[in-house]
Amino acid sequence: MLTLAEKVKQGLKTWALVNSPWVIHFNSGSCNGCDIEILATLTPRYDMERFGVKLQGSPRHSDILICTGPVTLQARDRLLRVYEQMPEPKFVVAVGSCAISGGVFQGCYGVVGNISEVLPVDAFIPGCPPRPEAIIHGVVALLGSLKSKTEAAIKEQA
């Protein structure tokens, strides 16, 4: 059973995560179509920062790992290293058809598979490439589900 101070602390952590998530982008072998759309979501036209989302350069400061492309043999170890460097709680978003299923690269000799074969994925954003609106919707939906899951866990422990 949680004390009032622990509930407040957990609620504050949830509020900070949901209202100011920091993301890091990792291209694990895509054609760069999804990468361009992710960068478009950060421009003033689509402005993902209005939801508090900020792009970071270091995995040690990131909450969400946004992955594009199928996982290649060359990128697999780097992807795992980036994921392991992220602090808890950490979340993974697979963007694009190649990240979700391997896409047109599925079965190629240099491809391990999709992102979910290497890391636990929390959100999937389909498309080839997905529109910036779809990427924003997927990230916001992930944040909404995180908020509801955390609130339910706090109530359950009470």
Residue 95 pLDDT greater than 90, yes or no: yes
Q: pTM to 2 decimals?
A: 0.88
29-84 pLDDT, tens digit each: 889 999 999 999 988 999 888 888 889 889 999 989 999 999 999 999 999 999 99
Asked if residues 37 and 78 have their Cβ atoms less than 8 Å apart, the reply is: no
Which amino acid is present at 95? V
**Mean pLDDT for all residues in the chain:** 89
Domains of the chain as residue ranges with CATH: 20-157 (3.40.50.12280)
- Whether the CA torsion 143, 144, 147, 153 is positive or negative: it is negative
DSSP SS3 for 46: coil
Residue 98 pLDDT greater than 80, yes or no: yes
pLDDT at position 13: 79
Q: Which two tokens stand for residue 34?
A: 């999804």
pLDDT at position 158: 61
pLDDT at position 107: 87
pLDDT at position 145: 84
Residues 111-122, mean pLDDT to the nearest whole number: 93
Asked if residues 22 and 63 have their Cβ atoms less than 8 Å apart, the reply is: yes
Residues 117-136, mean pLDDT to the nearest whole number: 94
% pLDDT > 70, the chain: 95
Q: Which two tokens stand for residue 16?
A: 């900070």
Question: How far apart are alpha carbons 13 and 90 in whole angstroms?
Answer: 13
Reference 115, options 87, 144, 80, 84; nearest CA is 80
Residue 1 pLDDT greater than 70, yes or no: no
